[in-house]
Amino acid sequence: MPAPGIRVSAPPLRTTSAAARRGIAGTVIGALVGTLLVLLPASAAQAAPVLLSQGKPVTASSEENYGTLAASAVDGNSATRWSSAHSDPQWLRVDLGATTQVSQVVMDWEAAYGKGYRIELSTNGTDWSTAFQTTTGDGGTDTVNISGEARYVRMNGTARATPYGYSLWEFKVYGETGGDGPQLPGGGDLGPNVHVFDPSTPGIQTKLDQVFKEQEAAQFGAGRHQFLFKPGTYNNLNAQIGFYTSISGLGLKPGDTTINGDVTVDAGWFNGNATQNFWRSAENLALNPVNGTNRWAVSQAASFRRMHVKGGLNLAPNGYGWASGGYIADSKVDGQIGNYSQQQWYTRDSAIGGWSNGVWNQTFSGVEGAPATGFPNPPYTTLQTTPISREKPFLYLDGSTYKVFVPAKRDNARGVSWSGTPQGTSIGLDKFYVVKAGATAATINQALAQGLHLLFTPGVYHLDRTINVNRAGTVVLGLGLATVIPDNGVTAMKVADVDGVRLAGFLIDAGTVNSPTLLEIGAQNSSADHAANPTTVQDVYVRIGGAHAGKATTSIAVHSDDVIIDHTWVWRADHGDGVGWETNRADYGVRVYGDDVLATGLFVEHFNKYDVEWYGERGRTIFYQNEKAYDAPNQAAIQNGDTKGFAAYRVDDSVNVHEGWGMGSYCNYNVDPSIRQDHGFKAPVKPGVKFHSLLVVSLGGMGHYNHVINNTGASTVPAGTTTVPSNVVSFP
């Protein structure tokens, strides 16, 4: 976040080539996202095949040599393998952890495959039954449909096809449930922190005011709230939105729920300074502002989505004090948007009546009515379309039934997605496990293994183990900035390399024991092509420190291809509790290894080393906002070999194609203002690597940059304490 009162107006790389992976993956076509609205009937959740074996304990009759371990067959990494001794018989056994119904085994053989083998099942690891057998195996990928209950599943090889042993890249077991015990129910009530109104509800304004009073200044508090307005018209309301508070309409389109009044964010709690107005949102409403203009003075982690403002929108606090940038998507603002003191802002796939003012970096993609590119003066960067977008899932009412609408993917998008019939699919709430106070990671994983989606109600959830999202198409949706905290150094959430997972609307808060990662999308060397149905990460925020002394080596690691990161704030805290150079240590913010990953609205700040590193090919970033860590104790603490400082955004030298638009890095080395940063951005000089509208700025002379990108771009030193950016219009 910006410094109050200062501002003015790797893990191993992939070993398989992209071309080879695309060629292999191209033989399998994933399920396409529906292109028309599909209303699913409310019914009991149906079990769906779920990957049960990944990361589970595994043993083998033998291991050929170091590097071909049994565990490599269930690690989700298609570039590692298990191989056995050169004799018959040999076996590989996975322990699923509990007896469960299994339905399928998929074996990805290396060249040394099994011609004869059996798939065997056991509930105790001693007594085995044969679920499948063959003497005519031909290698490649074997998909075997089976039926039975098992805790242990074994491939028992009886005849090798080559003189070598048995060798499997991956051994995958799928099933319908995640363990013993009764099935968890889907649906249910939304808990005490979800406040649902209809136009006849008495005391709506009183409830809004009560929650705002609690949340206005509760920057690191435990309160979490979601306001839901049923379709209809509401008069004379002013919904002031504080920390960890979200307000949404329950219609399928914004116009289904109209507020004749305002949804307001201001900065009275912080003496008119809006640079710390984080963690809140407004979605899916139509507003008729009382005075013609609605005020939404926010900074990071505050999304404004699927809104229709029938008037203007003011992005500055009362008095036009400091403000540090935000995000608008899929919204229509009939009047003008007044940017005023917002230092940076990103607007995507919307329609606006006009835009005024700008400080350093205002970026637009797919926005009807956006100003033309003029960077750096005026500081506008405009793309006519967004290459790929898919809007965030949201809760709505179909009659009296709650459902979650999952919008369809759009290519070369421009304007709002809801101008006609909404395109996408609807999923009944009965197909969601509604996560409420007291839920454990074990229960959450059981729900996922049953085939349920997740809806986190507003609250803070402590995890003693990783949440594993293994099923394609799973939706994980948070209400009211629901927050998950890994307590014992685990990764908070891992997503398998599958199609179409949607993560949206929650905060991951690092625990006090260091986690190697907080969110992983895919495993190392993931190779599947997800272009038709990518995984999306939307309004998913990460925090290390601030509420307590959190630690994590890497916040987000993206290994899958085609992922869309659509608005995230990944923040190593610079204020609050548990803050210090080593106290809330976090070396890396976002590390991207997958190919064809698109980031739209990337905010990453204050990491001890690289804030963003990009290893995948054909990556694209539209809008990037960064601050280097304020609290570096001295120059030596950030020395990177012969380079002064770690770049805010680094593209690896191995990358041939990459592109970015509207990207800024700021320094505020307030512990040692003599620190010099060689550059904000680092990238290989190749024809396919391109950047547009780059800037670096020293906030009040607290440290300086020598260049913008590599050795290109003027130093900020001559600007002294004036907080004037150094710009590069295009690179190379």
String of b and e for 254-287 (b: at least 16 CB within 10 Å)? Answer: bbbbbbebbbbbbbebbebbbbbbbbbbbbbbbb
* Whole-Å CA distances, 483 to 168, 221, 277, 350: 39, 11, 17, 29
Residues in contact with 328: Cβ distance below 8 Å, sequence separation at least 6, in sequence order: 303, 304, 305, 307, 337, 345, 346, 347, 348, 350
Amino acid letter, 664: G
Instruction: Give Cα separations from 371 to 355, 357, 389, 684, 725 (angstroms).
Output: 7, 11, 21, 31, 21
Beta carbons of 696 and 726 less than 8 angstroms apart:
yes
Which helix (H) or strand (E) element contains residue 287? strand 286-287
Q: Which distant-in-sequence residues (6+ apart) come within 8 Å of 359 by Cβ?
A: 7, 8, 9, 339, 341, 342, 343, 344, 379
Question: How many residues make up the chain in this entry?
Answer: 732
**Consecutive H or E run containing 236:** strand 232-240
Q: Which of 679, 663, 658 is nearest to 375 (CA)?
A: 663
Going by C-alpha positions, the residue among 238, 284, 282, 288 that lies closest to residue 260 is 288
641 CA to centre of own chain: 31
262 Cβ contact list (under 8 Å, min separation 6): 237, 238, 239, 287, 289, 290, 294, 295
Q: Torsion angle of alpha carbons 445, 451, 452, 453, nearest 10°?
A: 90
CA angle 615, 621, 626 (to 5 degrees): 90
Asked whether the beta carbons of 695 and 660 are under 8 A apart, the reply is no
Q: In the chain, helix, strand, coil percent, each to 5?
A: 5, 45, 50
d(CA 440, CA 435): 9
Q: Which helix (H) or strand (E) holds 443?
A: helix 441-450
Assign residue 430 a region (left: φ > 0; alpha: ψ between -120 and 50; beta: otherwise): alpha
Q: Is 627 part of the annotated catalytic residue set?
A: yes
* 24, containing H or E segment: helix 18-25
Catalytic-role residue among 63, 64, 170, 627: 627
Start-to-end Cα distance in the chain: 29
Strand partners, 469: 495
- Angle at the Cα of 245 from the Cα atoms of 462 and 556, rounded to 5 degrees: 50
Q: Do strands 326-329 and 302-305 pair parallel, antiparallel, or not at all (unpaired)?
A: parallel
Report the C-alpha gap between 678 and 709 in whole angstroms.
Answer: 9
Distance CA 506, CA 244 (A): 10
**Do 166 and 142 contact (CB within 8 A), yes or no?**
no
Q: Are 160 and 115 in contact (CB under 8 A)?
A: yes
Contact indicator for 662, 693 with CB cutoff of 8 Å:
yes
Residue 512 contacts residue 551 (beta carbons within 8 Å): yes
Distance CA 251, CA 257 (A): 6
Q: Any idea which residues carry the catalytic annotation?
A: 627
